[in-house]
Structure 1
Amino acid sequence: MQLVRGFHNLRPEHRGCVATIGNFDGVHRGHQALLARLRERGQALGLHTCVVIFEPQPREYFTPETAPARLSRLRDKIELLAAEGVDQVLCLAFNEHLSNLSASAFVDAIMVDGLRIKHLDVGDDFRFGCDRAGDFAFLVDAGRRHGFTVEAAQTVMYDGMRVSSTQVRKALAEADFVLAEHLLGRPYQICGRVLHGQKLARQLGTPTANIQLKRRHVPLTGVYLTSAEIDGQRWPGIANIGVRPSVAGDGRPHLEIHLLDYTGDLYDQRLAVQFHHKLREEQRFASLEALKSAIDADIAAARAHWHAQPLTKSLK
């Protein structure tokens, strides 16, 4: 898969495609169905597929404090799109220039002159342009004028609900990881690189891997039973995700995972942390002693759970 970072990096070989546009946060089963149809259309027309995404996502640009929590950061999203057989991703910087483009200017610059789209597949509720005048009907009319076809993405349902990023976030907020897995088509996980932290957990006798999140908001907060894949094996553990109210911090969300009985060096490795069950909410403790007692209790609960329901160690 080719990743094109920015409109200015488009080359002749990137043009002439079937395309879709959106956030694709989480690349859930609804997105997967859309991408499958796009691949079929591309094969029928003999054209490559292109997904146009924005970074940051538009609501993160306009209202960063209240924007929805990210299900997947940019790197994860690109990997998920590649796994769905997408040929090309065009990632546009959502900035002042792009946010000020009218719907007509967006069509002309991105769809016609930039990508020379031959077919477009979007949700029937898709809106774009600084005046939000760009909707499905607008695109159909633009397609007639510029020579590309437009098709509405079909809604994917599960157990009576529309599969969407919003529904995935709701399932995660309710710690319903079974439902989240059904909506996503895979277990929910957060990926990131292990960085050096304050080493406080090590002083408390429970060394943790401090995982870089690179996002303002996360869809989970609290203490969870988790697991992580390391060198072809899955290790059970326990993780805290939140702002760590019991210690001085930067106020941003952090993910710290303690892997039971693991003794290797994880610094600078990229871990994929899978979430299985919520133990409790994140709490503020009056002292480090109280914090240590809570951590010890959480680990005891984790050991009891994993003893009763052991993970399959080998991933082969």
Structure 2
Amino acid sequence: MQLIRGLCALPAFPDGCVVTLGNFDGVHLGHQAVLRQAADQARELKLPLVVLIFEPLPREFFAPHAPVARLTRLRERAAFIAELGVVDVLLVHPFNAAFAQLTAEAFVERVLVDALHARRIVIGDDFRFGRGRQGDFALLEQLGQRFDFSVQAAATWALDGERVSSTRIRSHLTERDVAGAARLLGRPFTLCGRVIHGDKRGRQLGFPTANVALHRRLSPLRGVFAVTTTLPDGTVVSGVANVGTRPTVDGQDARLEVHLFDFDRDIYGQMVRVAFCHPLRDEQKFSSLEALIEQITRDASAARAWHAEHTTF
């Protein structure tokens, strides 16, 4: 899969392409179904499949003071989309003030027609686009007749009688229901980031941790969990992790701190993927460091016991 940032770097599509577009935050089962449906259309037409996403998310642009708890950063979205093995080009278009002012017709003509030469577009029937969200499925069909492309409605993916959505997954994560989130994602929920130097407080408490940079304004979950951590070389290590602000030591920013079991390698600077397997407790403030150490000891024992009973890798 080729990752392209902006229209200027696009390769030529002399015969056109199949396009699907959206936020794809989480790349959950519903998104995966849309991508595979679009891939089927691309194979039928013998054309490349282009997936168009936006950065930042439109909601983040329009409401910067009310950030959404992203399920995936751009790097993670790209990785999960690539892992499906059905997408030829992932186009990341900047969502800025100029782009937000494009009318629905201008967006279709400039981006989908002039830049991408779309022959077929696969979208959900509730998709909205253009300034003021004025564009919809019906308008896209009308414009398709003018610009010679066809439009196909993406199938809705439901589980337990309810549509799979990023909002539904966030709701599960808010309740620390990582199993429920995993069912909708089709895989465990993960946070990815680079291991950075922290304040070494975990080591002082007897539980050294890998501090993972989140690069998020808002984390979709908080608390203590049994986890697995995948290293760049494919090694998977079980452990216990805390996501939160560490109130006992008056922390301010949200952090992901992972204590890796029976592990002593230097992994500073490496990109890791932390999978949340089982919730242990909510984050809480303790009256003393001694009480915190006692609880961390219990957390580590509980996580080891969970891992011993579950084959996660």
Q: Under TM normalisation by the shorter chain, which class is it?
A: over 0.9
* Structure 1 position 219 matched with structure 2 position 220: yes
Aligned equivalent of 1:242: 244
After superposition, what is the alpha-carbon deviation per residue over 1:54-98, rounded to whole angstroms, capped at 9, x for unaligned?
Answer: 011011111134333111111111111112210001101111111
Aligned equivalent of 1:50: 50
- Code of the residue aligned with 1:237 in structure 2: it is G
CA 1:246–1:64: 2 relative to 1, 3 Å: farther
Alignment check: 8 A CA contact 1:173 1:220 kept: yes
- Code of the residue aligned with 1:142 in structure 2: it is L
CA 1:109–1:279: 2 relative to 1, 3 Å: same
Could you tell me how far 1:130 is from its partner in structure 2? 1.7
Distance 1:290 1:276 in 2: 25
CA 1:304–1:3: 2 relative to 1, 3 Å: closer
Distance 2:287 2:176 in 1: 27
Aligned residues: 311
Could you tell me how far 1:232 is from its partner in structure 2? 4.3
Aligned equivalent of 1:297: 298
- Code of the residue aligned with 2:199 in structure 1: it is Q
- Code of the residue aligned with 2:132 in structure 1: it is D
Q: Which runs of no fewer than 5 residues in structure 1 stay unpaired?
A: none
Alignment check: 8 A CA contact 1:236 1:311 kept: no
Alignment check: 8 A CA contact 2:15 2:47 kept: no
Aligned equivalent of 2:21: 21
Alignment check: 8 A CA contact 2:49 2:88 kept: yes
CA 1:180–1:15: 2 relative to 1, 3 Å: farther
CA 1:226–1:91: 2 relative to 1, 3 Å: same
SS of residue matched to 2:307: helix
Could you tell me how far 1:284 is from its partner in structure 2? 2.4
After superposition, what is the alpha-carbon deviation per residue over 1:155-204, rounded to whole angstroms, capped at 9, x for unaligned?
Answer: 11112111111122222223333332221112221111111111111111
Aligned equivalent of 1:103: 104
Could you tell me how far 1:287 is from its partner in structure 2? 3.5
Distance 2:175 2:260 in 1: 24
CA 1:280–1:64: 2 relative to 1, 3 Å: farther
Aligned equivalent of 2:8: 8
Aligned equivalent of 1:86: 87
Higher mean alpha-carbon deviation, 60-69 vs 256-265, is at 60-69
- Code of the residue aligned with 1:82 in structure 2: it is A
Higher mean alpha-carbon deviation, 293-302 vs 139-148, is at 293-302
SS of residue matched to 2:40: helix
Q: TM-score, normalised by structure 2?
A: 0.93
- Mapping for residues 1-316 of structure 1, pairs under 5 Å: 1-13=1-13, 16-84=16-84, 85-230=86-231, 231-249=233-251, 251-307=252-308, 309=309, 311=311
Higher mean alpha-carbon deviation, 165-174 vs 98-107, is at 165-174
- Code of the residue aligned with 1:4 in structure 2: it is I
Aligned-residue sequence identity (percent) comes to 49
Alignment check: 8 A CA contact 1:195 1:212 kept: yes
Could you tell me how far 1:134 is from its partner in structure 2? 0.8
SS of residue matched to 1:12: coil
Alignment check: 8 A CA contact 1:14 1:115 kept: no
Distance 1:55 1:237 in 2: 33
Q: TM-score, normalised by structure 1?
A: 0.92
CA root-mean-square deviation:
1.8
Distance 2:44 2:302 in 1: 54
Higher mean alpha-carbon deviation, 231-240 vs 103-112, is at 231-240
Q: Which runs of no fewer than 5 residues in structure 2 stay unpaired?
A: none
Higher mean alpha-carbon deviation, 80-89 vs 232-241, is at 232-241
- Code of the residue aligned with 1:5 in structure 2: it is R
Alignment check: 8 A CA contact 2:33 2:157 kept: yes
Distance 1:31 1:193 in 2: 26
Distance 2:53 2:199 in 1: 35
- Code of the residue aligned with 1:217 in structure 2: it is L
CA 1:147–1:13: 2 relative to 1, 3 Å: closer
- Code of the residue aligned with 2:169 in structure 1: it is V
CA 1:232–1:88: 2 relative to 1, 3 Å: closer
CA 1:170–1:14: 2 relative to 1, 3 Å: farther
Could you tell me how far 1:288 is from its partner in structure 2? 2.9
Alignment check: 8 A CA contact 1:15 1:115 kept: no
Higher mean alpha-carbon deviation, 222-231 vs 267-276, is at 222-231
